């Protein structure tokens, strides 16, 4: 579900942004596909699409090494030339100066000459300069003058405003000054012929100049409408340029032969404000909004692209939309399969691969496509969705995991292990634990007397009290529920130095609970506690595992719990557990027992209560201890007297009654002293 939504979001985003910058792609789109043009026109308001597409074109230039072509020379009509030649900044120049420059260019064998300067009207102040310039134009034979293509003064369509007749007739031709610039003033596309119907007889200044210079790419006039993208060679100043006044004669700045075989473009620097200079202020991928370049620089770059046949091309609309759909599907769906941190790494790696691959295609094949839509929009949005989707998923998983942990961990340990997914890994380790088993006395007869719902509510209340009020109260871990019984342990998953003491305190808590009603009923619980090495970890099938403990020492705790039934006690602990708790809790030894399934004799102790009860219970405990010693030494008569004395001091004492029965049974046997065993053998669980 998450992958499908991510795919849909990123694919739609890529298509929308791709179409959002499509309208500026080419004016002929309107004629070829009116519906697509209309959709692009609607989406053009999404400036983000245009911005990302422009970045896709601009950024590779900043990474590519600078190229310095030697086929062209720029002659600037700049501030220095104004000053040195004494020309006005608010009127036309003396065209005799253009004639002098052109005469030198002709003498040095310039390949072709273009003037990006308006000569619309004859000069009133220097008519002789116009004549000399016209003669120089004829003598050269390869000069292209600029013309404006704009709305006519009467408002009836577009008109061409070319040079005055004297100069127009002497020149080799004219080219339009029109440049296709974007809203950010960067010229990215070649524009060699107007697309308005009936105006295709005109060509751009750069096209005409390349044609006169003999560029193979400019000889077929039908190729003017081919979509070409400007290939910039470097930042402003990369192309060879000189100031107009230095180019009039040979000097150190402009040595003889500088213009031989070169295409020369003459134009104004945008800082110079004289009448007749185009006021175009343009940018390149290398400049910011504060750094503008004169139009003649752009005209020179366009001309160079034609001369060198190294313009850029862009992938087709169909290809771009297909790529954006595929990348949207790849990242939109793919990133959802990774956790947030991994997804960030994959997204960064993917963005770098797309950027590097796009640059490699740009640098070696001069082909570009709107890859920043992928890097700047699709991948970030896919990453955001992936992180959000997986974060929610992880949050839900963590909450479920925490709920699972709460079933067997105390509240203060839940947060500690909530992010420790090792608890979910299969496998186990050997570790010393203190294990506690519980069982409800006479549960079978109780369950038979209750209905299913009543029994379920009763047991839920019992487990809530037992787990929350007893086991978790003393930081125990619930291993599993066994019918009406519970397996709990201490010292895992958290290390607990006093695990035996915590288990014994839990046993005392169960004894207190036995005196309290649960849903109007007493549920006497028998407890067995033992400390030893067990296997603890995740056990189960491929579909379900339990974090629990297994091993002989776990079974021994279960046997101790069952021994309560014979001894009439509530909570028994092993000698191993007793050695861990010492005198910090009150117990009484009940003797040695060989329990079913175990060869070794286990010393069993009854958990009595807090040490404060020591004085109150001393008389009958000491009497029981003496009677037990007589029993173990086969002094059965004295042992029986001792156990009866305990019953007088503590009526109903289960262990005393157990041993009196043992004495009665064993008295019937004829045992030699060497056959006497001081421990009791239980053949049943």
**Which tokens is 169 given?**
């007739």
Tokens 């992928």 label which residue? 374
**Which tokens is 223 given?**
């190729």
**What is the C-alpha separation between 247 and 80, in angstroms, rounded?**
12
Could you read off the pLDDT of 141-158 as tens digits, one per residue? Answer: 999 999 988 877 676 777
Helix (H, G, I), strand (E, B) or coil at 601: coil
> For 406, what's the count of Cα atoms within 13 Å in the CB-facing half-sphere?
9
* Least confident piece of the model among 199-203, 284-288, 354-358, 411-415: 411-415
Helix (H, G, I), strand (E, B) or coil at 199: coil
Predicted confidence at residue 197, as pLDDT, reads: 46
Helix (H, G, I), strand (E, B) or coil at 588: strand
Q: Are 75 and 378 in contact (CB under 8 A)?
A: no
If one compares 447 and 299, the residue with the highest pLDDT of the two is 299
* Least confident piece of the model among 28-42, 91-105, 137-151: 28-42
Predicted confidence at residue 66, as pLDDT, reads: 94
Q: What mean pLDDT comes out for the span 17-45?
A: 53
SS (H, E, C) 37-70: HHHHHHHCCCHHHHHHHHHHHHHHHHHCCCCCCC
**What is the C-alpha separation between 7 and 13, in angstroms, rounded?**
10
Q: Does 421 score more than 70 pLDDT?
A: no
Nearest to 455 by CA among 446, 464, 463: 446
Helix axes 552-567, 654-667, angle to 10 degrees: 90
Could you read off the pLDDT of 226-277 as tens digits, one per residue? Answer: 889 999 999 999 999 999 999 999 999 999 999 999 999 999 875 544 434 4
**Which tokens is 460 given?**
């839920």
Q: Are 581 and 565 in contact (CB under 8 A)?
A: no
Predicted confidence at residue 316, as pLDDT, reads: 87
Predicted confidence at residue 582, as pLDDT, reads: 95
Q: pTM for the complete prediction?
A: 0.65
110, 135, 310, 537, 555 from 233: Cα distances, Å: 22, 35, 10, 67, 83
Could you read off the pLDDT of 165-182 as tens digits, one per residue? Answer: 999 999 999 999 989 888
Predicted confidence at residue 393, as pLDDT, reads: 72
Q: pLDDT-based confidence at 201, cuts 50/70/90?
A: confident
Could you read off the pLDDT of 596-618 as tens digits, one per residue? Answer: 888 899 999 999 999 999 999 99
Could you read off the pLDDT of 653-678 as tens digits, one per residue? Answer: 999 999 999 998 887 775 666 667 87
Q: pLDDT-based confidence at 444, cuts 50/70/90?
A: confident
Measured on CA atoms in the order 240, 243, 248, 250, is the torsion positive or negative?
negative
Contacts of 339 (CB under 8 A, 6+ apart): 390, 394
Could you read off the pLDDT of 81-99 as tens digits, one per residue? Answer: 988 998 877 678 899 999 9
Q: pLDDT-based confidence at 412, cuts 50/70/90?
A: low
Q: Are 436 and 476 in contact (CB under 8 A)?
A: yes
**Which tokens is 483 given?**
């019918």
Predicted confidence at residue 539, as pLDDT, reads: 81
Q: Are 191 and 179 in contact (CB under 8 A)?
A: yes
Task: Set out the domains of the chain in order of their start, with CATH numbers.
Answer: 2-61+315-391 (no CATH), 66-312 (no CATH), 410-609 (3.30.70.1230), 616-680 (no CATH)
Mean pLDDT of the chain: 86
Could you read off the pLDDT of 494-528 as tens digits, one per residue? Answer: 899 999 999 999 999 999 999 999 999 999 999 99
Predicted confidence at residue 45, as pLDDT, reads: 46
Q: Are 595 and 602 in contact (CB under 8 A)?
A: yes
Q: What mean pLDDT comes out for the span 70-90?
A: 89
Predicted confidence at residue 317, as pLDDT, reads: 82
Residues forming a β-bridge with 528 = 437, 572
Q: What mean pLDDT comes out for the span 527-550?
A: 85
Q: Of 14-23, 405-414, 431-440, give the range with the top mean pLDDT.
A: 431-440
If one compares 48 and 537, the residue with the highest pLDDT of the two is 537
């Amino acid at each position: 579900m998450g992958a499908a939504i991510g795919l849909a979001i990123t694919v739609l985003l890529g298509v929308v942004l791709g179409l959002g910058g499509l309208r500026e792609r080419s004016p002929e789109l309107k004629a070829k596909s009116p519906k697509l043009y209309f959709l692009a026109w609607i989406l053009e308001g999404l400036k983000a699409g245009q911005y990302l597409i422009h970045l896709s074109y601009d950024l590779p230039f900043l990474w590519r090494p600078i190229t310095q072509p030697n086929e062209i020379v720029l002659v600037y009509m700049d501030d220095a030339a104004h000053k040195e030649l004494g020309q006005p900044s608010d009127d036309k120049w003396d065209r005799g100066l253009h004639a002098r420059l052109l005469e030198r260019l002709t003498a040095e064998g310039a390949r072709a000459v273009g003037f990006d300067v308006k000569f619309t009207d004859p000069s009133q102040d220097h008519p002789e300069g116009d004549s000399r310039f016209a003669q120089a134009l004829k003598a050269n034979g390869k000069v292209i003058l600029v013309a404006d293509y704009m709305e006519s003064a009467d408002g009836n369509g577009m008109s061409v405003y070319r040079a005055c007749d004297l100069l127009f007739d002497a020149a080799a031709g004219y080219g339009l000054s029109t440049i296709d610039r974007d809203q950010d003033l960067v010229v990215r596309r070649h524009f060699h012929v107007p697309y308005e119907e009936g105006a295709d007889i005109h060509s751009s200044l750069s096209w005409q100049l390349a044609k006169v210079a003999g560029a193979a790419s400019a000889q077929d006039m039908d190729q003017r409408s081919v979509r070409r993208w400007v290939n910039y060679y470097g930042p402003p100043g990369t192309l060879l340029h000189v100031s107009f006044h230095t180019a009039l004669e040979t000097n150190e700045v402009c040595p003889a032969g500088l213009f031989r075989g070169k295409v020369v473009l003459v134009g104004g620097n945008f800082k110079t404000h004289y009448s007749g200079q185009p006021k175009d202020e343009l940018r390149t991928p290398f400049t910011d909004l504060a750094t503008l370049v004169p139009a003649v620089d752009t005209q020179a770059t366009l001309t160079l692209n034609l001369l060198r046949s190294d313009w850029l091309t862009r992938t087709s609309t169909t290809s771009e939309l297909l790529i954006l759909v595929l990348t949207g599907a790849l990242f939109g769906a793919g990133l959802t399969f990774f956790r947030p941190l991994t997804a960030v790494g994959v997204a960064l790696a993917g963005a770098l691969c797309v950027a590097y691959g796009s640059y490699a295609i740009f640098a070696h094949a001069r082909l570009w496509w709107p890859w920043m839509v992928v890097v700047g929009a699709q991948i970030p949005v896919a990453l955001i969705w992936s992180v959000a989707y997986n974060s929610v998923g992880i949050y839900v998983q963590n909450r479920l995991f925490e709920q699972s942990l709460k079933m067997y961990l105390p509240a203060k340990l839940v947060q500690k292990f909530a992010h420790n997914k090792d608890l979910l890994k299969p496998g186990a380790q050997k570790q010393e634990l203190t294990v506690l088993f519980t069982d409800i006395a006479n549960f079978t007869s109780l369950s038979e007397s209750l209905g299913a719902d009543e029994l379920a509510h009763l047991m839920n209340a019992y487990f809530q009290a037992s787990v929350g009020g007893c086991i978790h109260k003393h930081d125990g871990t619930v291993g599993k529920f066994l019918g009406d019984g519970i397996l709990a342990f201490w010292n895992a998953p958290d290390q607990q130095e006093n695990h035996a003491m915590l288990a014994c305190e839990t046993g005392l808590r169960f004894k207190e609970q036995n005196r309290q009603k649960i849903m109007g009923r007493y549920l006497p619980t028998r407890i067995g506690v033992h400390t030893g090495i067990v296997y603890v970890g995740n056990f189960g099938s491929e579909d379900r595992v339990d974090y629990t403990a297994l091993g002989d020492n776990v079974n021994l705790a279960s046997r101790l719990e069952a021994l309560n039934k014979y001894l009439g006690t509530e909570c028994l602990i092993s000698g191993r557990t007793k050695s861990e708790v010492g005198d910090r809790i009150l117990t009484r030894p009940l003797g040695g027992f060989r329990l079913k399934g175990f060869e070794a004799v286990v010393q069993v102790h009854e958990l009595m209560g807090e040490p404060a009860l020591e004085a109150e219970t001393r008389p009958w405990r000491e009497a029981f201890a003496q009677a037990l010693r007589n029993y173990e030494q086969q002094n059965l008569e004295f042992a029986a007297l001792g156990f009866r004395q305990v019953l007088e001091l503590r009526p109903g004492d289960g262990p005393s009654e157990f041993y009196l029965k043992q004495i009665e049974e064993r008295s019937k046997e004829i045992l030699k002293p060497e056959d006497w065993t001081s421990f009791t053998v239980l053949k049943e669980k």
